[in-house]
Structure 1
Amino acid sequence: MPARRHRLIPVLPVAAVAALLALTSCGSSSDGDATGAGQPGGTLRIAADADPGCLDPQQTGQLQTLDITRGLVDSLTDQDPKTGAIVPWLAQSWTISPDARKFTFTLRSGATFSDGTPVDGQAVKASFDRLSKLPPNGAPAYIKGYTGTTVTDATHVTVGFTQPNAQFLQATSTTGFGILSVATASKPLAARCRGQIIGSGPFVLKNYTPNRSATITKRAGYGWPSSRAVNKGQAHLDTVAFTFVAEDGARTGALRSGQADVGEAIQPSDQAQFTDGGSARLLLAAAPGLVPPLSLNHRGILADEKVRRALLIGVDRAALVSTVFNANYRPATSVLASTTPDYVNLADKLRFDPAQADRLLTEAGWVPGADGIRTNGGRRLSLTWLIPAPMPPADEAVQAQLRKRGVDLQLDAVPPAQYVARQSAGQFDLTAVAVTRADPDVLRNIFSTRGANLWHLTPSPLDGYLDAQAAATNPADRRTAVTNAVTWILDHADTVPLYEGSVVHGVSTKVRGLRLTASTQLDLHEASLG
């Protein structure tokens, strides 16, 4: 991705909010058109960068899925993207036990799913029960230790955990924790991926054609948006039409020509076209959480820590950002982005040192070959980089840098659905998984051996640090555990952080009220056409 990013963001402390707002003020509009709603009705045409492959937000955190399904499902809570505050949505209030093991929600009355059934305690229970049984990758990881949901009555539920789970409240604001109907919980997972989900959101799914398009339409009578919403009723737009356009230049061209109203994931080389006050502007937000990395499979060649360490210090991050990106991006200085709570600057551990990288590879038995690629016992130092199409230009730049160290990176770009399947099967040496969430608990989702463990790490003290930060109710204790975890990850080269990214979309000036949520997804409920 940029790596494909899972967007989950908890409460930001004041310092992180300030840093985030400083970044998002770069370029053109970062928070949509503030001139008010346009005319009701019409179709918003979005050129999306890829087919999501699955429309069930419980099963995938792919940003393409969440941009569509955020309009289909409501969550118990919402998060203010400017202050980080967690505010009411389907839940009008809540209490948390002192040990952060029980969360009691009082639901608002009157909300219904698109099939007419009520949004009640049984629906909350069914949603969370089903979520807890899914593989712990993405949203299911944040309900780990779930003991069940107790339904007191239609509007009161208590969610319990075996251990403190302080990050859970924020998780309830995300699309992956959106409340689905009781009927949805029992549907086959494959059917849900095809769009057979029933939510209570301001839109309903009209159709989904894989590798081509998805269309959502306004739900008549909707009237229970987030408490922070300006629009308290149904959506302004009649229809939102997503067309999947993998080629970067084609999305930019569609926006420039007026064939699309929104072009998603505008690449750095094209962003300047939309900063001149013309027919389109930029909608952008810095991305806290796990920075775009090289995610390393700890089997095969990369089981050798010396080889991993060579990759870690063999990438010139400053050169990468200056040649491929622009001011909306920064070289990574840690595993976490600098806008993430409890971030610590560990840039010294990421300092570019080509001579030391070469020494490490030689010590590991990899010596330069005739064509410059290192070999060991006749085996080339060739690594397969599994990439979800479309392939970002940064990947080729990283490939060129590491070739100078004698590493042959084979770039293997595949459709997102195939990417997920091959990643789950461990059919790669490297991938690039970034997770957008302004909470350090994102580390546990990616690096704990007690979860999905896609990178095949071996159990270590890191697991204890990750569990400790998730359970800590004292801020100082949590900060210490996070620092210990990030330090361990870099000291053992368990990943190769690359850069701090931004979500950047191009938006026609005739579009009004379109903003990004705290989780950097499109907020379509407020959008309209001028």
Structure 2
Amino acid sequence: MKRREFALSIPAAAVLAGAPALAQARKDAVVLGMTLEPPGLDPTAGAASAIAEIVQYNILETLTKINADGSVTPLLAESWEVSPDLRTYTFRLRKGVKFSNGEPFNAQTVKFSFERAAAEKSTNKDKRTFAAMESVRPVDEHTVVIINKEPDPDFLFYMGQATAVIVEPKSADNNSAQPVGTGPYAMERWNKGSSVMLSASPSYRNPGAIKIKRATFRFISDPAAQVAAVLSGDIDAFVRVTPRGAAQFKANSRLQTIVSGSRAKTVLAINNAKKPLNDVRVRRAISAAIDRKAVIAGAGDGFGVPIGSHYVPGAAGYIDTTGINPYNPDKARALLKEAGITTPLELSLVLPPPPYARQGGEVIVAQLAKAGITAKVQNVEWAQWLANTYGGAHNYDLTIISHVEPFDLVNFTKPDYYWGYNNPKFNELFDKIKVTANVAERNKLLGEAQKILADDAALAWLYQPQWLTVANRRLNGLWKDMPIFVNDLAALSWS
């Protein structure tokens, strides 16, 4: 369960004498750059990965912690026991933990959090995980037993994701604007459209371990502005920065850059529920019209690895499916003709703000045109994409987006998910995957699942992103790899 993603550091300045050097040695603040501003700060209520990048492990904590190498270790749970059938998990909870509003953390708050996540009105994007819990039973203040309806080999990993954060009952409804958690930091200020500031929480259980006392997340979506902010020193670290500045970053002795893999999948999502996209021949034509390597060059400045299904190299059970729907404009035109499509076929292409979407969109529009498909571009803001494309009436034909969750094949079992894919054969196979504990057999089934999705051309898969991270060489402790998108502030320090 290893995953890759990113790292950072940066240069020692010239040695200065006296007070300035001492002040520099005691630096206890950091400014981090982010491409997107989250729509809210409650990861149990919204799907945007930018939420977790600010709050997970900083303000809000989980029972388990997912580390940079993908391993799972204790966090709010000190230890656990798992039954042989992989259904019952007994968690021993950390004692003496309080939320930042002074309320105690205990087994009852775990029960509240998970039952809230499973409730009928829950908007938690992993609601199924919590609805699959047969019971959440506090044994005493510091012991909770969770019994799942079915075995789940990845359950401990899921309990470390942002959707499984433990919330305080009295404040939970306000977490979107003012999150209250058990973590080392508390919310200080949110300047909408600009930045979020966190400061060390006075109620944290181990305050002496926190070297960074204040962290500011600045939102910079424009690629040129990202490069300028890093080079000027306004940003101490920018994770997943635009690759446009790679050459300039590498040439700057004050900076260190790291190129890492990911578990993300950048895709051209297809609305399977709309005509004529409900015809597999049309979806295969769209896939055949796309030159993945050209998209990587245009959208990611060359930082990416082609993929042919919803799985990436390095993940357990990965198989190479890029040969199932290879680039072939002639075949694309033939498939459209076979499907009875009169060209040019006009489709909407909704593009959210990230550079990979806007830049990649330009490449894909040109490629689709060569196959007889006219893509009408609609540039939208992030909140609009979440409300109208991902949510609501799924008002789109095509859209470019990067799915960052490590284990998200489950979304293809949801007919009401935004891409509207529905294949009973895949659902049956996925049910087997969920309950198969044997690693070799599970990996074999995962390979079969990837092939079904590729054969169905459920999406037009583009590439596995390679993230570029740049940071001040003196900043230590940022994750080298990243199975999930977090910025673990408590691990940071200045040298």
Q: Does TM-score exceed 0.5, indicating one fold?
A: yes
- 1:143 aligned to 2:130? yes
Q: Does the 8 Å CA contact 2:111/2:136 hold for their aligned counterparts? A: yes
Q: Does the 8 Å CA contact 1:313/1:357 hold for their aligned counterparts? A: yes
> In structure 2, the residue corresponding to 1:198 is in which secondary structure?
coil
From the superposition, tell whether residues 412 and 494 of structure 1 become closer, same or farther in structure 2 (CA, over 3 Å). Answer: same
Please name the residue that 1:47 is paired with: 33
211, 232, 235: which one pairs with 1:260?
235
From the superposition, tell whether residues 480 and 96 of structure 1 become closer, same or farther in structure 2 (CA, over 3 Å). Answer: same
2 CA distance for matches of 1:435 and 1:40?
39
- 1:527 aligned to 2:495? no
Please name the residue that 2:194 is paired with: 212
Please name the residue that 1:421 is paired with: 387
Q: Does the 8 Å CA contact 2:369/2:375 hold for their aligned counterparts? A: yes
Please name the residue that 1:103 is paired with: 89
405, 409, 412: which one pairs with 2:371?
405
Shift of 1:387: 2.5
Once the two structures are superposed, residues 111-155 of structure 1 have per-residue CA deviations (whole angstroms, 9 ceiling, x without a partner) of 211112222111111111111226576333433412231000111
Please name the residue that 1:300 is paired with: 275
The gaps in structure 1 that reach 5 residues or longer are 1-10, 225-231, 369-373, 375-380
The letter for the 1-side match of 2:165 is G
Q: Which moved more, 1:490-499 or 1:60-69?
A: 60-69
- 1:194 aligned to 2:177? yes
Shift of 1:85: 2.3
Shift of 1:105: 0.4
The gaps in structure 2 that reach 5 residues or longer are 13-23
From the superposition, tell whether residues 238 and 92 of structure 1 become closer, same or farther in structure 2 (CA, over 3 Å). Answer: same
Shift of 1:341: 1.4
- 1:435 aligned to 2:403? yes
Question: Equivalences for 1:122-201 in 2 at 5 Å?
Answer: 122-133=108-119, 138-185=125-172, 187=173, 191-195=174-178, 197-201=179-183
2 CA distance for matches of 1:32 and 1:413?
35
Please name the residue that 2:44 is paired with: 58
Please name the residue that 1:371 is paired with: none
Please name the residue that 1:377 is paired with: none
Question: Equivalences for 1:2-401 in 2 at 5 Å?
Answer: 11-12=1-2, 20=4, 30=7, 32=9, 39-70=25-56, 71-82=58-69, 84-133=70-119, 138-185=125-172, 187=173, 191-195=174-178, 197-220=179-202, 222-223=204-205, 233-289=208-264, 291-298=265-272, 299-325=274-300, 328-368=303-343, 374=344, 381-392=345-356, 393-401=359-367
2 CA distance for matches of 1:31 and 1:101?
39
2 CA distance for matches of 1:32 and 1:388?
30
Once the two structures are superposed, residues 166-205 of structure 1 have per-residue CA deviations (whole angstroms, 9 ceiling, x without a partner) of 22110111222121212234x2xxx43223x211111111
Once the two structures are superposed, residues 284-328 of structure 1 have per-residue CA deviations (whole angstroms, 9 ceiling, x without a partner) of 531115x21111111133112111010112111123234553564
Q: Does the 8 Å CA contact 1:330/1:500 hold for their aligned counterparts? A: yes
Q: Does the 8 Å CA contact 2:66/2:72 hold for their aligned counterparts? A: yes
Shift of 1:512: 2.8
Please name the residue that 1:449 is paired with: 414
From the superposition, tell whether residues 438 and 418 of structure 1 become closer, same or farther in structure 2 (CA, over 3 Å). Answer: closer
Query: How well do the aligned residues superpose, as a CA RMSD in angstroms?
Result: 2.4
The letter for the 2-side match of 1:215 is M
Q: Does the 8 Å CA contact 2:115/2:130 hold for their aligned counterparts? A: no
2 CA distance for matches of 1:471 and 1:33?
45
- 1:508 aligned to 2:472? yes
2 CA distance for matches of 1:56 and 1:324?
30
Shift of 1:46: 2.4
1 CA distance for matches of 2:175 and 2:427?
33
The letter for the 2-side match of 1:254 is A
Shift of 1:39: 4.1
Please name the residue that 1:483 is paired with: 447
TM-score of the aligned structures, taking structure 1 as reference length: 0.83
Q: Does the 8 Å CA contact 2:62/2:76 hold for their aligned counterparts? A: yes
Q: Which moved more, 1:268-277 or 1:159-168?
A: 268-277
Q: Does the 8 Å CA contact 2:31/2:237 hold for their aligned counterparts? A: yes
419, 429, 441: which one pairs with 1:465?
429
TM-score of the aligned structures, taking structure 2 as reference length: 0.89
1 CA distance for matches of 2:155 and 2:404?
16
The letter for the 2-side match of 1:207 is R
> In structure 1, the residue corresponding to 2:189 is in which secondary structure?
strand
